Amino acid sequence: MEVAPGEAVGLVGETGSGKTMTVRAATGLLSAAGGRVTRGAITIDGEDATAATEKAWRRWQGKTLALVPQSSMSSLSPLRRVRGQLAETIRRVDRAVDLDDQIAGLLESVHLPVTKEVLDSYPHELSGGMRQRVMIALALAVKPRLLIADEPTTALDVAIRGEILELFGELRRERKLALVMVSHDISAIAAATDRIVVMYAGQSVESGPTGSVLPDPGHPYTEALLAAIPQRTPPGLPLPVVSGQPPRPEEITIGCAFAPRCPKVKDACRNQTPAPVVVARGGQVSCLLAHRPDPQAPSKTEAKVR
Amino acid sequence: MTSTPIAVVAEGLDFSYGKSQILHSVDLEITSGQRVGIVGESGSGKTTLAKLLVGVLRSDQVTANGRPWSGWGRRSPVRRAVQFVQQDPYASLTPQLSARSAVAEAARVSGQAPRREATAQAVELLGSVGIGPDMAARRPGRLSGGQCQRVSIARALAARPSILFADEPTSALDLSVQAQIINLLLVLTKDQGLGLVLVSHDIAVVRHLTERVVVMRHGRIVEHGSTSDVLAAPQHEYTQMLCRAHLLEEVA
């Protein structure tokens, strides 16, 4: 996958599909998690980051990219007040700045009131939405050009979720910030991103413009994932569920990783690894059936119930 | 499912933690066999209300079959008939107990199975929620979030309840696992007649699983009616906002 300056990309897939691992690789946190790159490359602004040293990564982490981790409660220090958390990050990037000025600016940009009450709060004294804003303020403290947010809205309720998504939109417009949003919340992805990448079993199986992939998914996995959205089934009826589990990493051998669960599987899928195919509505689909759509196929809205 | 008919009633219910009043004169009646959603934003008091209704928190303004929870003994069928599935599936299971032991323990403590039969019954219950025998031997740390949630549900079912209270049972799960849990709850409620009280801020899940909905805001019930009516023509501003967010998702 790639992200252009100012672009917003959504990364979706079920738990264990490799979303968070992808984010770690792209932010230099792979080795800390005990992983390493075995093939392919990570490129940042044309520079090869695949084998970059900790020091080189720190330079990128300090100004090019910033991560908003998944759990605000466990990523903020429980022992430090909001002011202290922000001050530490700001100083790490720039020792010369006026701290109070910077802190006020950051809080304002995430629409938190610059009051003693907020500045002196410990993380547990803030609501979930406020903590998420503090996390985003911390990420912005390094003045990144790319913000990577891992499940930024999952723990939030509808109203707060809307506000956080609005905030991302505003930051993109005002700071020309690029955004990668990892989420299993499809409606958040729909609202906040230009392009979508769907992952399954550690691979990108489909990508393309968000506005065309969601109404017209090209990969049977994407189709199955979208069919599980409750709104797409009348109340009280069972939701379409793909039987089986995603494969464990050691189980992926030859053929399409989704073949064992795929409702449209053909013999060829089991012994031929699908290459990405460029599709007419924009984007790529890694499925052997992708380039020859069946005109007799049922429409996308009539998902099969099993 | 053998079940004790039950009616849990909150009448003019006020509740405070210390100085902060969480609930303001809440009136609500829930009887076995009903499927009710309680929706509202964080801090609206919906989880507190659920905890009071199941008797985890005590108030004399809440009665079960006509008597406050404090008036029912630990082993009474009325206590057993109301079970609670908490929000975080990892936090609500004991890390040292296998899924099988956790469910067997619940069956034994609730008097539904003698010690000798408890394990066999646990394996059967776990099977009915889609946890096979080899998975049943695992501890929570070796189960996924969705599997832990199934174990929590099986553990609640071990007491053979009439009403299951579930606090955000799917909010920590991804779409495909959420769909599996929704389908499981549909089978338990619609096919097997189990009552369900679903506490959630996800109006799509509530719409799918319930026939009646209670909307809470700042500790008060602001709207209450049949789920289809309320969602089709929301009266309160907050419900309208929830439904707008819901429409946004239908576009997705």
Q: What is the pLDDT of residues A36-70, one digit of tens each?
A: 899 999 999 999 999 888 888 988 987 899 998 87
Residues A136 and A54 in one domain: yes
How crowded is residue A28: how many other Cβ atoms within 10 Å of its Cβ?
Answer: 22
User: In A, what residues contact B, Cβ < 8 A?
Assistant: 14-16, 127-129, 154-162, 184, 186-187, 189-191, 214, 224-225, 228-231, 233, 235-242
Nearest-neighbour CA in chain B from A98: distance (Å): 36
Contact assignment for A239 to B179 by CB distance below 8 Å: yes
Q: What is the pLDDT of residues B130-167, one digit of tens each?
A: 888 889 999 998 888 888 989 999 999 999 999 999 99
Residues whose CB is less than 8 angstroms from the CB of residue A253 and which lie 6 or more positions away in sequence, other chains included: none
> Which amino acid appears at position B38 of this protein?
I
Residues A47 and A136 in one domain: yes
Nearest-neighbour CA in chain A from B249: distance (Å): 5
Nearest-neighbour CA in chain A from B218: distance (Å): 14
Q: Which of B27-31, B37-41, B42-46, B219-223 has the lowest mean pLDDT?
A: B42-46
| Domain B8-81+165-252 classification at class level | alpha beta
Q: Residue A301: inside a domain, yes or no?
A: no
Contact assignment for A230 to B190 by CB distance below 8 Å: no
Angstrom distance (rounded) from CA B23 to CA A304: 44
Q: Residue A205: inside a domain, yes or no?
A: no
- The SS3 call for residue B70 is helix
Domain extent for A261: 220-285
pTM above 0.90, yes or no: no
* CA proximity to A143, closest of A93, A205, A97: A93
Name the percent of chain B lying above pLDDT 90: 65
Residues A130 and A39 in one domain: yes
**How many structural domains compose chain A?**
2
Which secondary structure element, helix H or strand E, spans residue B16, and what is its range? strand B7-17
Domain CATH code at residue A69:
3.40.50.300
Q: Residue A305: inside a domain, yes or no?
A: no
Residues A17 and A152 in one domain: yes
Q: Residue A27: inside a domain, yes or no?
A: yes
Q: Contact, A43 vs A49, CB < 8 A?
A: yes
Angstrom distance (rounded) from CA B252 to CA A231: 10
Contact assignment for A239 to B252 by CB distance below 8 Å: no
Residues A124 and A256 in one domain: no
Q: Residue A142: inside a domain, yes or no?
A: yes
Mean pLDDT of chain B: 90
Confidence band for B185, pLDDT divided at 50, 70 and 90: very high
**Domain ranges (residues) in chain B:** 8-81+165-252, 90-160
- Residue A148: both structure tokens together: 């990577």
B172, B245, B251: residue with CB nearest A158: B245
Which secondary structure element, helix H or strand E, spans residue B123, and what is its range? helix B115-128
Q: Residue A180: inside a domain, yes or no?
A: no
Chain B residues with CB under 8 Å of A160 CB are: 41-42
Residue B248 scores a pLDDT above 60 = no
Q: What is the pLDDT of residues B206-227, one digit of tens each?
A: 999 999 999 999 999 999 999 9
Write down which residue in A110, A130, A159 finishes a domain: A159
Q: What is the mean pLDDT of each run of 10 residues along chain A (306 residues)?
A: 94 87 90 86 93 88 86 82 92 84 92 92 88 90 91 78 88 92 89 95 94 94 92 92 81 86 93 91 91 51 42
Q: Residue A104: inside a domain, yes or no?
A: yes
Q: Residue A146: inside a domain, yes or no?
A: yes
| Alpha carbon A113 to chain centroid, angstroms | 28
Write down which residue in A142, A159, A176 finishes a domain: A159
- Predicted ipTM of the assembly: 0.83
* CA proximity to A280, closest of A270, A292, A272: A292
Residues A19 and A155 in one domain: yes
